[in-house]
Amino acid sequence: MKTIYPTIQCLIPDFDFEAEIQGYNKKWREKYIWIMHSILWQQTVISKRDYDKFTPLRSTILRKVAGERYYSYVLNQLTTSKVVQQYIDLNNPKGYRPNVSSKQYRIHPELLARTTRIKSVPITKQTYCRKIALLRDADVKDAIKANDNLRHEHLMGTHRMIDVERAEHYTRQNYEQGGKPFQARIHAIREMNNWQHAKFENGVYKHDFHFSYKGGRLYSPATSLPRDLEQFTYFRGFEDEPSVCMDMQNSQLCFFNELVKRSSDEINRKKSQHIDSNHKEEISIENKTPLKGSKLLPSILTHNTPIYVLTFSPTWEDVIFSGQGYERMMHLCQWKGKDAEWTKDERQEFKAEFFGQLFYNAHLPKLTYLEEIFLTHYPIEAEGLRYMKKLSGNKPKVRFNAKTGKFQRTIGGSLLAVKVQELEGRFFHYVVASYMRQNHKSVPFTIKHDSITMPQSCAAYIATEIDALASDFFGRAVELKKEFL
């Protein structure tokens, strides 16, 4: 019997693309839709980025759906017509790095200025529905083949349900219909609901949702579901009780701290090499003058602490493991002119600045504002951070600084985020998932990056066990934050 593949719902800007795409070919309608959807889906559902930010598109996926001979031509049509815009990196004219990063795109700002709405349109042509279904099927198979823990996660995730009617009513009441946040939530609700219906027939998973494992992170309907919609979810068999989310506070800071600790073996190995060669590697950071109006002390002129004797201040470690890392830095830099009591939006805005100026930015001789503050108050951790940027930066490169109009020699820290993400994935998808599979095989749960959710009655006795796993992993007392959804 011939397999009938489900219709694929896609997100695209609400405009007449048939009229505005130069050289529009009606036979390629699904190709245009799929490329636009891939960009918006990455932004609104997966990355939850601002809509003016660029997002990577994997050419292997575009080739499989749009076709090996056509995808680049169709993509060029969209860029020429100012429907999408490609990110141009002066240091990397190709726009990608094999096996490292993909070319990045966004919906063109001029188009977004004309329409602030997006719409959901179906792909019904069976040729494309089959391609997309097989592509998603391959993602699921690749993920669950990776190890038994991910297979168990997938199975347990199908037990998490969502009250579609209440979730959609809430979305209609709180978000402008047709707006990007609205459509992103409607799409996420559909994927969450479809997860429970996943089934294997004729060698193919019958589903319309995403489930893939990449770079240490699992991407599933649970990870894509916005936090304000989680209140409408529950687990099959536990319909009458709330769910509990156990969240690792300041997770990226904690996992980075652990990453540097675990690199100490390599550092200590280099110690003997430095001694044998009568050479000690040092980190030199130029003297910095406090910003005008700042009460900060001047940064230390030169740090002669050899890399291999780095230690960790318990003060900073205590701060981040208590979940106060961002608040501490906001206090030190007087974020928004305040000592405390920042709003949720102000905290989110600071986190963007924090990672952009301090953690995942390039290694430059001249420090950013937040690097100055971190160096002044936590010099040992600041040195460790800069050293890890060097380790993850590979070869030095020349970067054009648009603000100064000059070229600067840098060591990139782009791979540092990947390493932190991989360590986070190792804890949640290996340590925690393996423990659940072996000790609580019948307990349903889902993992969302740095948190695990399960029914209240199960969390009542498992929460302390999860805390014990975290304490063993980090070598110190750790307690995850518990919240009812």
Separation of alpha carbons 231 and 251, rounded Å = 22
Average pLDDT per consecutive 10 residues, the chain (485 residues; last block may be shorter): 77 89 91 89 64 75 78 89 82 51 82 81 88 79 78 92 96 88 87 81 60 83 92 96 95 91 61 46 34 31 33 74 93 91 91 88 85 91 84 63 61 74 93 96 95 96 97 95 94
| Other C-beta atoms lying within 10 Å of the C-beta of residue 320 | 21
Q: Where are the domains of the chain?
A: 8-232, 251-417
Q: Exposed, middle or buried: residue 29 (CB in 10 Å: 0-12, 13-18, 19+)?
A: middle
The answer to whether 294 touches 270, Cβ cutoff 8 Å, is: no
149-161 tens-digit pLDDT: 988 999 999 999 9
The predicted structure's pLDDT at residue 209: 78
With left for phi above 0 and alpha for psi between -120 and 50, is residue 36 left, alpha or beta?
alpha
Separation of alpha carbons 51 and 460, rounded Å = 40
**SS3 annotation, the chain:** CCCCCCCEEEEEECCCHHHHCCCCCHHHHHHHHHHHHHHHHHHHHHHCCCCCCCEECCHHHHHHHHCCCCHHHHHHHHHHCCCEEECCECCECCCCECCCECCEEEECHHHHHHCCEEEEEEECCHHHHHHHHHHHHHHHHHHHHHCHHHHHHHHHHCCEEECHHHHHHHHHHHCCCCEHHHHHHHHHHHHHHHHCCCEEECCEEECCCCCEEECCEEECHHHHCCHHHHHHEEECCCCCCCEEEEECCCHHHHHHHHHHHHCHHHHHHHHHHHHHCCCCCCECCCCCCCCCCCCCCCCCCCECCCHHHCCCCHHHHHHHHCCCHHHHHHHHCCHHHCCCCCCHHHHHHHHHHHHHHHHCCCECCCCCHHHHHHHHHCHHHHHHHHHHHHHHCCCCEEEEECCCCEEEEEECCHHHHHHHHHHHHHHHHHHHHHHHHHHCCCCCCEECCCEEEEEHHHHHHHHHHHHHHHHHHHCCCCCCEEEEC
The predicted structure's pLDDT at residue 68: 77
The answer to whether 245 touches 471, Cβ cutoff 8 Å, is: no
The predicted structure's pLDDT at residue 33: 92
The predicted structure's pLDDT at residue 361: 83
Separation of alpha carbons 393 and 63, rounded Å = 30
Q: Exposed, middle or buried: residue 110 (CB in 10 Å: 0-12, 13-18, 19+)?
A: exposed
